[in-house]
């Protein structure tokens, strides 16, 4: 259940940020929520979380920004599925080093995949080596915020169940709950 809550929370933050209700400046828990979801839920649940995430993208793209959904958006959606599978590698391996590595891999792969898709779509950058390099250079500020948010939110999301389990085992906490 917590995995679904994190995905819904991440999508809500993205949508609210896109609507201008709050300023996220590219700082989003989406990558961390997808990693956590993949680590906790069976693969048959991926479709539901993917649908929630894609619905948020469609809303922002069509309603907020006024663009049509195009084929290059599918590259991002494929990355979402990849993030679930990357998270699934963490099952039974929830250790800081592994979680940090997965968060780093998620950030780097999103940067590489999403910007390649932007370049490939050809709307903003020419299909030249220079255009590809310019696309990646222009995205560096977003990469820093994405990396920071993936690392921070992954630490929080993966630590929360551990903390809750420890609190449940604490005798003083058990007496309070009784």
> For 121-143, what is each residue's pLDDT tens digit?
988 999 999 999 999 999 998 99
What does 41-76 look like in DSSP terms, one character per residue? S-GGGHHHHHHHHHHHHHIIIIIIS-PPP-TTHHHH
Residue 92 is predicted with a pLDDT of 87
Alpha carbon distance 11, 135 (integer Å):
25
Which of the residues in the chain have pLDDT under 50? none
Residue 21 is predicted with a pLDDT of 86
Residue 171 is predicted with a pLDDT of 67
Residue 33 is predicted with a pLDDT of 98
pTM metric for this prediction:
0.90
Query: In which region does residue 26 sit, left (phi positive, over 0), alpha (psi from -120 to 50) or beta (all else)?
Result: left
Residue 20 is predicted with a pLDDT of 84
């Amino acid at each position: 259940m917590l995995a679904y809550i994190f995905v819904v929370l991440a999508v809500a933050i993205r949508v609210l940020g896109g609507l201008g209700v709050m300023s996220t400046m590219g700082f989003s828990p989406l990558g961390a929520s997808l990693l956590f979801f993949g680590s906790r839920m069976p693969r048959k649940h991926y479709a539901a979380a993917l649908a929630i995430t894609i619905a948020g993208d469609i809303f922002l793209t069509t309603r907020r920004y006024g663009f049509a959904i195009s084929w290059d958006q599918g590259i991002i959606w494929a990355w979402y599925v990849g993030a679930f599978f990357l998270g699934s590698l963490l099952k039974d391996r929830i250790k800081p080093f592994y979680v940090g590595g997965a968060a780093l891999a998620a950030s780097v792969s999103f940067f590489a995949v999403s910007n390649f898709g932007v370049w490939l779509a050809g709307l903003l950058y020419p299909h030249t080596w220079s255009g590809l390099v310019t696309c990646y250079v222009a995205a560096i500020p977003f990469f820093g915020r994405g990396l920071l948010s993936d690392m921070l939110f992954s630490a929080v999301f993966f630590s929360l169940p551990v903390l809750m389990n420890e609190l449940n085992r604490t005798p003083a906490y058990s007496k309070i709950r009784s």
